[in-house]
Structure 1
Amino acid sequence: MLVVGAGLAGLHTARRLALRGVRVLVVDRRTSLSAGIRTTGIFVRRTLDDFDLPDHLLGPGVREVLIYPPSRRAPVRLVSDRDEYRVADMAGVYAHARRMAEAAGARVRLGTRYVGTGSGVARFAGTDPAAARFVIGADGARSRVARDLGLDVNRRFIVGAELVHPIAAGGSAPVFHCVLDPRVAPGYLGWVIDDGRHAHVGVAGDPAAMRSGLRHLLDDFAADAPGRGAPTGPIARRGGPIPVGGVLRRLACPAGLLVGDAAGAVSPLTAGGLDPCLRMSDLAAAVTAEFLRTGDEGVLRRYDGAALRARFRGRLLLRRAFAGIRSPLVAEAAVAMLRSPAGLAAAARVLFGDGSFPDVAGPAPDGRTLPLEAA
């Protein structure tokens, strides 16, 4: 079987399948997994609790979040007694995930551009086609595989971009700075967070509202963003579309299924995608392996996007409300509301909550939940 896309979703799914005895080929048009990284790499506590990520690839724990209004005065402060976030070296995480997938028996072929599939045959640019009884689309927010298989596609996006700056080691405890300001991030927010070695400074928002240009907005925000540290030249720029319409309804058919951003597996409210990426990849691998073994199309109903969407209707409603904040005065009022006891409790529930989005972890071959073992 074929997995298109060697990001975290594709490699994690491929490894799970290979451990179940499925022959897996992973292809990606990139020639290096360190190229084209789009995510900040923020792992939340529930992911760190449930998956054994390599500790040496993770930055220090983040326990404090500051939420700023457009004026940048009197931010709302939330502090947890536990590490809530850690920022990963995503190039290292991808390399590690590739090693683990190959160790399990999957083949990974970079520099191979997928161009389409049909009648059980996958086609690639400049190389021979390959038989593909089942295709898994892990090829990002604008998935080609989804269109080829006649599955649902993402239609609601925000766009994001960030700068990565080196910072001095051994400073104060890292803080997650969030700025709610529709002038720089209409419908979403700006952020600053560090991984112990680098500061990640980013903005995201509604594409249509970013009329002055995403790069211009990012550079303006980075010039005086809170918590950015001493200004230095960036070592990397990242960016791309982020689906925020929720998990797609039609995710699977007898010819394949979708995982990761291709499946809309991103929180509509926080735009966090790494936790649902791993959890849905577990479920996708379990369902795929069972379907390939039995040929029973009823198995695919376990991977039902409509049922998954029902788990987070509240987040979809809050996404619409969040997207409607287009005035600095409204943003100031929204942050002021968070200072109330009810507002602080709601913010802590979203930012520090114990629930998973969605909680769909699939079993390993022996029935256990299978971790991402450290190298």
Structure 2
Amino acid sequence: MQTVDVLVVGAGLAGLHTARLLAQRELDVLVVDRRRSLATGIRTTGIFVRRTLDDFDLPDHLLGPGVRDVLLYPPSRRAPVRLHSDRDEYRVADMAAVYAHAHRAAESAGARVRLGVRYLGASAGVVRFAGAEPVRARFVVGADGARSRVARDLGLDVNRRFLVGAELVHPIAPGHAAPAFHCVLDPRVAPGYLGWVIDDGRHAHVGVAGYPEAMRRGVRHLLDTFAADAPGRTPPTGPVERRGGPIPVGGVLRRLACPAGLLVGDAAGAVSPLTAGGLDPCLRMSELAAAVATDYLRTGDERVLRRYDGDALRSRFRGRLLLRRMFAGIRYPVAAEAAVAALRHGAGRVLAARVLFGDGSFPDVGPRLADPATSHP
């Protein structure tokens, strides 16, 4: 039976980034994912915020033009609140290409990535797969999404509070208009969250998300209804792709690590409870996870795992969790109209700009790590 230092289950951005960092620290790392191609099963719009763009070395050619304008619409779609920044606040990535880039980077660092391998379970350090030989792993990293099977097998916490999102992605004619991020607050199509339209210069992304128990007509029907007259929409110039999936918004989970493994990305609840953004959190928490896992495997000291403490992280989310509950309480169009009206002037406008353009959507989880290739263990 093959033995590895670390098995990473899930080859999304969190899993591949963690795998690369671990491999750079000279650990034997194997990544498995049930998908045969990372270009399929994409569940994110791919919106990177300014803070991520500033702090991480993302390939510029995989990112669309900078977005500086956000238009927030009430249910009536009249008189949106327009917010403008002097800096590029958002860029939308070609996520299939980003995953391919992360895949190559992980393998270049020494990690092995096996696609088309479905995880079945882990017990006593032995990990089983469908149609493949089991592997003995000293440590397992669960990067297998919002409804993580790894979390259950390791006895760690699981996500219980979700939005469900769906999105249409279609090609558009280049240079059709200045890029903008259009957001619609309307509980009839996105109960507890938003509908949105944004583009990356090549593709338009039209989506909705909301609490599944409130989406009585189903997310696909609500998406198609919204897409028919969504503000900022552009006519497609080619075939339409559909994306979707659950988005955990209950905050970072409390129990994230144990001597057998730990969780990263959506599996860890590493999503801003307020904005539902997960790309920045997954990169930040993956760096901490890689440092903690490396130290633990080298020392065998279980006290090291306390540095990856969900309780400590959750303490920084109290304000965001409160705002999430307030967001969820907007259940009727008249309340949404009033909420948007409150954001037009004064303190409301300052709050909107802080949420949409601020640096604090997801808190720092620790000091940024030095490049393992140039640091000392």
Q: TM-score range by the shorter chain?
A: over 0.9
Residue 135 of structure 2 aligns to which amino acid in structure 1?
A
Contact kept? 1:69, 1:331, Cα under 8 Å: yes
Deviation at 1:355, TM superposition (A): 2.8
- Of the three residues 242, 262, 268, the one matched with 1:263 is 268
Q: Deviations over 1:184-206 (max 9, x none)?
A: 00110100000001110000001
TM-score (norm 2): 0.96
Contact kept? 1:165, 1:235, Cα under 8 Å: yes
Return the alpha-carbon distance in structure 2 between the equivalents of residues 72 and 327 of structure 1: 15
Find the counterpart in structure 1 of residue 343 from structure 2.
338
| SS in structure 1 at match of 2:91 | strand
Q: Deviations over 1:127-149 (max 9, x none)?
A: 11001110000000000000000
Residue 268 of structure 2 aligns to which amino acid in structure 1?
A
CA distance change for structure 1 residues 362 and 123 in 2, over 3 Å: closer, same or farther?
farther
Return the alpha-carbon distance in structure 2 between the equivalents of residues 289 and 142 of structure 1: 25
CA distance change for structure 1 residues 168 and 245 in 2, over 3 Å: closer, same or farther?
same
Q: Deviations over 1:284-343 (max 9, x none)?
A: 000000000000000000000010011121000000010111100000000000012101
1:176-215 residue pairs with structure 2 within 5 A?
176-215=181-220
| SS in structure 1 at match of 2:266 | helix
- Of the three residues 326, 332, 335, the one matched with 2:331 is 326
Find the counterpart in structure 1 of residue 136 from structure 2.
131
- Of the three residues 349, 364, 367, the one matched with 2:370 is 364
Find the counterpart in structure 2 of residue 164 from structure 1.
169
| SS in structure 2 at match of 1:132 | strand
Structure 1 residue runs of 5 or longer lacking an equivalent are 370-375
| SS in structure 2 at match of 1:83 | coil
Q: Deviations over 1:60-93 (max 9, x none)?
A: 0000000000000000010000000000000000
Deviation at 1:235, TM superposition (A): 2.2
Deviation at 1:232, TM superposition (A): 5.5
Deviation at 1:165, TM superposition (A): 1.6
Residue 152 of structure 1 aligns to which amino acid in structure 2?
D
Find the counterpart in structure 1 of residue 3 from structure 2.
none
Q: Deviations over 1:17-72 (max 9, x none)?
A: 00011110000000000010000000000000000100110000000000000000
Deviation at 1:364, TM superposition (A): 3.0
Q: Does 1:97 align with 2:97?
A: no
Q: Does 1:20 align with 2:25?
A: yes
CA distance change for structure 1 residues 244 and 234 in 2, over 3 Å: closer, same or farther?
farther
Residue 174 of structure 2 aligns to which amino acid in structure 1?
A
Deviation at 1:354, TM superposition (A): 2.1
1:34-45 residue pairs with structure 2 within 5 A?
34-45=39-50
Return the alpha-carbon distance in structure 2 between the equivalents of residues 131 and 259 of structure 1: 20
Find the counterpart in structure 2 of residue 306 from structure 1.
311
| SS in structure 1 at match of 2:204 | strand
- Of the three residues 239, 244, 247, the one matched with 1:239 is 244
Contact kept? 2:355, 2:361, Cα under 8 Å: no
CA distance change for structure 1 residues 181 and 210 in 2, over 3 Å: closer, same or farther?
same
Contact kept? 1:67, 1:75, Cα under 8 Å: yes
CA distance change for structure 1 residues 365 and 290 in 2, over 3 Å: closer, same or farther?
farther
Contact kept? 2:69, 2:180, Cα under 8 Å: yes
Contact kept? 1:163, 1:234, Cα under 8 Å: no
Find the counterpart in structure 2 of residue 350 from structure 1.
355
Return the alpha-carbon distance in structure 1 between the equivalents of residues 369 and 196 of structure 2: 35
Which of structure 1's runs of 4+ aligned residues deviate more than 4 A?
231-234, 365-369
| SS in structure 2 at match of 1:134 | strand
CA distance change for structure 1 residues 365 and 72 in 2, over 3 Å: closer, same or farther?
closer
Q: Deviations over 1:158-193 (max 9, x none)?
A: 000000121110122100000000110011010000
Return the alpha-carbon distance in structure 2 between the equivalents of residues 175 and 356 of structure 1: 20
1:25-104 residue pairs with structure 2 within 5 A?
25-104=30-109
Return the alpha-carbon distance in structure 2 between the equivalents of residues 9 and 366 of structure 1: 17
TM-score (norm 1): 0.96
Deviation at 1:357, TM superposition (A): 1.1
| SS in structure 1 at match of 2:353 | helix
| SS in structure 1 at match of 2:354 | helix
| SS in structure 1 at match of 2:138 | coil
| SS in structure 2 at match of 1:283 | helix
Return the alpha-carbon distance in structure 1 between the equivalents of residues 227 and 363 of structure 2: 33
Structure 2 residue runs of 5 or longer lacking an equivalent are 1-5
Contact kept? 2:25, 2:372, Cα under 8 Å: no
Contact kept? 1:159, 1:240, Cα under 8 Å: yes
Deviation at 1:368, TM superposition (A): 7.8
Return the alpha-carbon distance in structure 2 between the equivalents of residues 252 and 120 of structure 1: 15
Contact kept? 2:172, 2:234, Cα under 8 Å: yes
| SS in structure 1 at match of 2:11 | coil
Q: Identity of paired residues, percent?
A: 82
Q: Deviations over 1:198-257 (max 9, x none)?
A: 110000001011111111100010000000112566520000000000000000000000
Contact kept? 1:70, 1:181, Cα under 8 Å: yes
Return the alpha-carbon distance in structure 1 between the equivalents of residues 175 and 323 of structure 2: 38
Q: How many residues align?
A: 369
Contact kept? 2:25, 2:373, Cα under 8 Å: no
Return the alpha-carbon distance in structure 1 between the equivalents of residues 198 and 372 of structure 2: 39
